[in-house]
Structure 1
């Protein structure tokens, strides 16, 4: 039986005046498809980090919601009086209602302005920090939401780890990544057939792995001897084949195209 197609509904919960495209001060909420590039990946020699296809694919899977206002935050620790001090670049009376420390424990909370609903029944929404995007002393919390029925908004949260060290969030930087999932991942895991065995017990997988491992060792040995250019790399996974030459299934992907969004007559698309 064919699997039902994933449907995603994105609902704007705030007035248009809270969106960045409508504000004169440069602040405001914004969203867009996740970018595949990362500064730290750009900075690697010959941009070799992009050769890791699994990294590049997850970078560009789902939507980014952007931080609406620049601010610095300082966690004062776990003592009873400890909280987070927020220093907003502009309009603190406005933004403190959106960004605060309502849960304590050094956690910064953003009250998000969008509601995601998904179909079919059992579909889910994975909410996490921007994939492979890092911030010193601030760790994004990850959540799996039952978006097939939930009509409540959710919060995005970062945990500050070390007291008394300021953390900076710039306006427009990616705050979190929303990745819709067509299936109930948790239920799928509960009913999954799981096996555990030694590699040698599966001759086909054993042969494929051994050939890949031997090929990789030879490749690095030749590179160390200068027989292969220093910036060369093996492309089997990227090109969708294993070490034996067997091709990957036809749904192998090297990039993710954002789906077409149908905007309602009353809603204009974001400018970014």
Structure 2
């Protein structure tokens, strides 16, 4: 029910493991210090997953060549909020608007040991990113007093939130039935201090890839 997490989880596409394998890192610095074993013998194992960069880095190949519109790149990393014990996905931003060769998805072990990637488990998550536009942003730090309307909205939310939490802690039956406030989920502002933005969304369904 955490909307920011749900939106992050659905703002992109997962690339899934085609088969199950286990990677075992002994803690050493060389390529040979990672052993990769498929669940069943698989002639395509080393076309998909390798120990290429050494120092506990596991390299997986998405096996796609991406092309995005001019100015758009591809942000590639692990699936958002998908935690995997013992290994951490690395994140890269690739200029797929011109790149004529594929990129790899890399994970780094956080300690020596074994990790297993299951068939159908996401190993890469891709999101198109208009990376040139982000360079035009100028971050500005201001006091709340510089925006009285926002300050009033924030204080109204804070009062409503504090009151709700107090009632919830004291066992108020109405608060218990409500369980959690839904201002952000519904795109509402407390105390009718402003209209809900027309751009608010609480669900995202991206198009599935098609052939051709």
Same fold (TM over 0.5): yes
Partners of 1:111 and 1:69 lie apart in 2 by 13
Question: Equivalent residue for 1:127?
Answer: 76
Q: Deviations over 1:154-194 (max 9, x none)?
A: 1111111101x21111111111111113x22xx33332232
Matched residues in 1 for 2:149 and 2:158: separation? Answer: 14
SS in 2 for 1:135: coil
- Is 2:194 aligned against 1:240? no
Following the alignment from structure 2 to structure 1, what is the Cα–Cα distance between the partners of residues 55 and 25? 9
Higher relative helix content: 2
Bigger shift: residues 79-88 or 67-76: 79-88
Between the aligned partners of 2:31 and 2:205, the Cα distance in structure 1 is 48
* 1:198 counterpart (137, 140, 143): 143
What whole-Å deviation, never above 9, does each CA across 1:54-85 have from its counterpart, x for those lacking one? 11111112211101221111111135586201
Q: How does 1:15-164 map to 2 (within 5 A)?
A: 50=1, 52-79=2-29, 83-119=33-69, 121-163=70-112
User: Does the C-alpha gap of structure 1 residues 72 and 262 become closer, same or farther in structure 2, counting only changes over 3 Å?
Assistant: closer
Structure 2 SS opposite 1:158:
strand
Query: 2: distance between equivalents of 1:249 and 1:209?
Result: 16
Question: Which secondary structure state, in structure 1, belongs to the residue aligned with residue 156 of structure 2?
Answer: helix
Deviation at 1:96, TM superposition (A): 2.0
C-alpha RMSD of matched pairs (Å): 1.9
Matched, 1:229 2:176: yes
- Rounded to whole Å, the distance in 1 between the matches of 2:73 and 2:35 is 34
**Does residue 169 in structure 1 map to residue 117 in structure 2?**
yes
Q: Provide the residue aligned with 2:154 in structure 1.
A: 209
Could you tell me how far 1:123 is from its partner in structure 2? 1.1
| Gap regions ≥5 residues in structure 2 | none
1:95-149 C-alpha deviation (Å, 9 max, x unpaired): 0232111001101101221122111x21121111111111101111111111211
Shift, 1:261, TM fit: 4.9
State the TM-score, normalizing by the size of structure 2: 0.90
